[in-house]
Amino acid sequence: MGGHIGPPIQTTMDFGFNDEQELLRSTARKFLENECTSEFVRKRMAEPAGVTDEFWSKMAEQGWLGLVFPEAYGGSELGFVDLAVLMEEMGRAVMPGPFVSTVLLGGLTVLEAGSPAQKDAWLPKIAGGRAKAALAWTEPSGRWDAAGVTTTAKPAPGGWALSGTKLFVLDAHLADVLVVVARSAETKQPDEGISLMLVPRATPGLEVRLLPTMDQTRKLCEVTLNDVRVEAAAVLGSVGGGWAPLARVVERATVALCAEMCGGAQRVLDMTVDYAKIRVAFGRPIGSYQGVKHKAADMLVDVENAKSLTYYAAWAMDENVPEAALAASMAKACCSDAYRKVAAAGIQLHGGIGFTWEHDLHLYFKRAKSSEFTFGDATYHRERVAQLINL
Amino acid sequence: MDFSLTPDQEAFRERVRTWLQLNIPGQWVRRAMGSSEVPRPEAYEFLRDWQRKLWEVGFVGLTWPKEYGGQGLSFVEEMILHQEMALLKAPSILNILGVGMAGPTIIAYGTEAQKKRYPAKILSAEEIWCQGYSEPNAGSDLASLQTRAVKDGDAWVINGQKVWTSLAHLADWMMLLARTDSDAPKHKGITYFLLDMKLPGVTVKPLKQLTGDAEFNEVFFDNVRVPESQVLGGVNNGWQVGLTTLMYERLALGFGLQVRLRIALDGLVEMARHVEKSGRPTTNDPILRQKLAQLWIETESLKYTGARAITKLLRGELPGPEASAGKMVWVDVHQRLQELAMEIEGPYSQLVAGSERAIENGLWQYSFLRSRANSIEGGTTEIQKNIIGERVLGLPKG
């Protein structure tokens, strides 16, 4: 009784996941529950590599390293909504390793801006787990806009000479090749005159230093380029035309990161609700107290809002709708706040046990913090939203 | 995942848009509702006519079956209609409780006679409905309600009192919850009645709110005889029927209130462009830009959370307790929006309608005051959090 009052529905609109996506989710969850246990994550935190060769090969076998690459380059040619599903599961497992750097940043930039030869050279290797990549973009200024790119690319015999310092570079120490974002011409508009260069990590003059980070599951590097020489063929896309493809890649990576954040936040909520059901204080499960229950409800609302905006942004990326950039910034502003708040509330509701090294909550709390600042925090993206809605 | 519309739905959108462009009365905003959701007294007749016009072209009751006066369309069309009404800043309807709650509940639980009798007149605004749930001693703890119905021959005799009853002074009918078995556990002894407000013994007393308006009322029942044919969904089954009403109410919120929020936000941005702070438009102030963008993001988020809920309905699932989250978020965002309106107006926020110095004739002062009720009416935020905690997350009852 009291059911649906409308007629049978003939419609295309559907803001949910399809059967294949649900299958991808359950496959990924099972795989990561087996292969990416807390013990595995903690071991990877303690060592520079952040991943094992065995784990990386298995990721390749599943087809996940080339999920959004075209079939011609060894990929599965799936969309960003599919990727969002996979990323949610990776976030749930607080998966370490160079997935974001290799697939979402290095790989996608080659796909977006590269020539057929460059794509041939790198994408099948990345999809097959035989090569890792990184994006050397941000600098000590910590800026996410085009004006933040001050590393120079100067014409040199047969190619270019690169000089400058890149900071907060994900997994540069693991990468076989780096995409270096450099200024090849001084122009009035900061987003002009930027070029993308493929630089093998072993190139003379390029130095990578691993930095100690709060979130040990995410490895950050400083990359210094001291008169690094590359051939003319190293340029991805057009000389001076690098900002537009970079911005598109970063938008996509941002949305994928948002999905990972949603998955992490959902896991914190799940752990907290499970604990609140069994932990007894004053003779009752703590989840029966409104002080705890209402906080858990707030966590759920944060997680659901984050998911709604992230799923929409993923769809907007796939469909390339005009407001895709706005959708990405709305999602990142929301997720940055939501994951941080949910992770902190998770620790609070667990009490003392939530503050221990032994409990996994701190892995999520720290991942929330590193993700918050990757690709711009909530304040940055709210200002971007303000601009995009012509405020 | 697919946001695309079928050709029929695109055509429907076009038809709605064209009709609204031709038919929205100019300058209605000043006379009608501002950014409030509940009709204000000076707008009643205007909104009744407006709803009738909408109904005549088939834009009310889209998802209701045709045999009961509806259009037999899906929730997608319902969403399209609300979106277009928001974009073109169309007035809302008068019979919001009838269309949002009474009608769907009657269609879900009513006898054939009841379904033939009531829904069509709800849509045409011929008969206005109010909701008799809350009592002086039963608000959040609704199931402890004390209004009593005692069987006497072929009628039930009602005695008791309801309170905070919006539109009761206009209403022809009431969705009434009354206790029919005082020995049963409190949730099991309640019956849902369709009550004629013109019956002898029904007294409506307006209740003045902190806004100065009297939009809601106290309703007293003194030996009111209700024919037994007016029971909806069976004797002592009222709690279940009443919850269905509330789920539809929160669902209707998802459709309607999100777009009302968007209208209010557009209005706020417009106002902010014309108000200066420290010698520059408030929209250039970095902190206010952050706050406006945050409200924008949250308003959009509600839209997509709503789309996820619609998807569940389209896939044949019932509206569930998740709707509580939507209600709660809406309230929170709307109250902050109204607070921000006051912050943007600065010292002018103190001036109300009647002062020629008041910004936009004091529109925002009214909606700011009215918004305080949002976290109380339709289930307090605290109750929504209990529902989310217990029925969505599965936490134990207190």
What CATH number is associated with residue A77?
A: 1.10.540.10
Can you give the pLDDT at residue B315?
80
Q: Which of A253-262, B30-39, B266-275 has the highest mean pLDDT?
A: A253-262
Residue A2, domain member (yes or no): no
Task: Flag whether pLDDT at B341 surpasses 90.
Answer: yes
Q: Nearest Cβ partner of B75 from A6, A16, A383?
A: A6
Q: What is the pLDDT of residues A28-49, one digit of tens each?
A: 999 999 999 999 999 999 999 9
Can you give the pLDDT at residue A3?
36
State the best of A21, A308, A332, A335 to mutate against chain B, taking most chain B CBs within 10 Å. A308
Q: How many angstroms away from the CA of B207 is the closest CA of chain A?
A: 32
Confidence at A6, pLDDT banded by 50, 70, 90: very low
Residue A59 structural domain = 19-131
On whether both A381 and A297 belong to a single domain, the answer is yes
Structure tokens at A211: 């930095």
CB B126 within 8 A of CB B57: no
Catalytic machinery residues of B: 249
Residues of chain A found within 8 Å of residue B301, distances taken between Cβ atoms: 305, 308-309, 330, 334
Beta carbons of B395 and A273 less than 8 Å apart? yes
CA pair distance A193, A153, nearest whole angstrom: 10
Averaged pLDDT of chain A: 96
CB contact burial B129-164 (16+ within 10 A = b; e otherwise): bbbbbbbeebbeebbebebebeeeeebbbbbbbbbb
Q: Which residues between 353 and 392 in chain B have a beta carbon less than 8 angstroms from any beta carbon of chain A?
A: 382, 384-386, 388-390, 392
Q: What is the pLDDT of residues B181-231, one digit of tens each?
A: 999 999 999 999 999 999 999 999 999 999 988 888 999 999 999 999 999
Can you give the pLDDT at residue B82?
85
Instruction: Give the architecture (CATH level 2) of B7-123.
Output: Orthogonal Bundle (1.10)
- Residues of each domain in chain B carrying CATH 2.40.110.10: 129-236
Beta carbons of B310 and A334 less than 8 Å apart? no
On whether both A270 and A376 belong to a single domain, the answer is yes
Residues of chain A found within 8 Å of residue B101, distances taken between Cβ atoms: none
On whether both A261 and A344 belong to a single domain, the answer is yes
Q: Is the pTM of this model over 0.90?
A: yes
Beta carbons of B385 and A293 less than 8 Å apart? yes
On whether both A100 and A55 belong to a single domain, the answer is yes
Task: Flag whether pLDDT at A165 surpasses 60.
Answer: yes
Can you give the pLDDT at residue A169?
98
Q: How many angstroms away from the CA of B307 is the closest CA of chain A?
A: 6
Q: Which residues between 362 and 381 in chain A have a beta carbon less than 8 angstroms from any beta carbon of chain B?
A: 379
Can you give the pLDDT at residue B255?
66
Q: Give A50 or B39, the one with higher predicted confidence.
A: A50
CB B225 within 8 A of CB B155: yes
On whether both A248 and A384 belong to a single domain, the answer is yes
CA pair distance A144, A157, nearest whole angstrom: 31
Residues of chain A found within 8 Å of residue B109, distances taken between Cβ atoms: 1-2
On whether both A261 and A232 belong to a single domain, the answer is no
Task: Flag whether pLDDT at B36 surpasses 60.
Answer: no
Parallel, antiparallel, or unpaired: how do β-strands B129-132 and B173-179 relate? parallel
CA pair distance A357, A355, nearest whole angstrom: 7
Q: Nearest Cβ partner of A391 from B292, B307, B315?
A: B292
CATH number of B241-392: 1.20.140.10
Can you give the pLDDT at residue B28?
67
Can you give the pLDDT at residue B254?
62
On whether both A81 and A145 belong to a single domain, the answer is no
Q: Is A37 on the interface with B (CB under 8 A)?
A: no
Percent of chain B scoring above 90 in pLDDT: 68
On whether both A101 and A203 belong to a single domain, the answer is no
Percent of chain B scoring above 70 in pLDDT: 93
On whether both A221 and A164 belong to a single domain, the answer is yes
A-to-B residue pairs, Cβ atoms closer than 8 angstroms: 199
Confidence at B262, pLDDT banded by 50, 70, 90: confident
Q: The CATH number of the domain where A179 resides is what?
A: 2.40.110.10
Q: What is the pLDDT of residues A321-364, one digit of tens each?
A: 999 999 999 999 999 999 999 999 999 999 999 999 999 999 99
Lowest-pLDDT range of A38-42, A234-238, B161-165, B374-378: B374-378
Lowest-pLDDT range of A148-152, A381-385, B249-253, B377-381: B249-253
User: Which string of DSSP letters, residue by residue, matches B242-269?
Assistant: HHHHHHHHHHHHHHHHHHHHHHHHHHHH
Q: Which among A225, A240, A255 is the end of a domain? A: A240
Q: Which among A194, A216, A240 is the end of a domain? A: A240
CB contact burial B91-111 (16+ within 10 A = b; e otherwise): bbbbbbbbbbbbbbbbbbbbe
Q: Nearest Cβ partner of A308 from B63, B308, B315?
A: B308
CB B40 within 8 A of CB B32: yes
On whether both A378 and A256 belong to a single domain, the answer is yes
In order of B30, B89, B362, the CA distances from B27 in angstroms are: 6, 11, 16
Q: How many angstroms away from the CA of A242 is the closest CA of chain B?
A: 29
Residue A12, domain member (yes or no): no
Q: The CATH number of the domain where A264 resides is what?
A: 1.20.140.10
Task: Flag whether pLDDT at A242 surpasses 80.
Answer: yes
Number of domains in chain A: 3
Which residue in chain B is spatially nearest to A8 when comparing CA positions? B74
Residue A336, domain member (yes or no): yes
Lowest-pLDDT range of A17-21, A294-298, B374-378: B374-378
Q: Which residues between 243 and 302 in chain A have a beta carbon less than 8 angstroms from any beta carbon of chain B?
A: 269, 273, 276-277, 284-285, 287-290, 292-294, 296-298, 300-301
Residue A8, domain member (yes or no): no
On whether both A377 and A284 belong to a single domain, the answer is yes
Confidence at A9, pLDDT banded by 50, 70, 90: very low
Q: How many angstroms away from the CA of A285 is the closest CA of chain B?
A: 7
Can you give the pLDDT at residue B83?
83
Beta carbons of A14 and B305 less than 8 Å apart? no
Question: Mean pLDDT across the stretch B77-90?
Answer: 85
CATH number of B129-236: 2.40.110.10
Q: Which among A131, A165, A198 is the end of a domain? A: A131
Question: Mean pLDDT across the stretch B225-252?
Answer: 86
Can you give the pLDDT at residue B389?
96
- Residues of each domain in chain B carrying CATH 1.10.540.10: 7-123
On whether both A372 and A320 belong to a single domain, the answer is yes
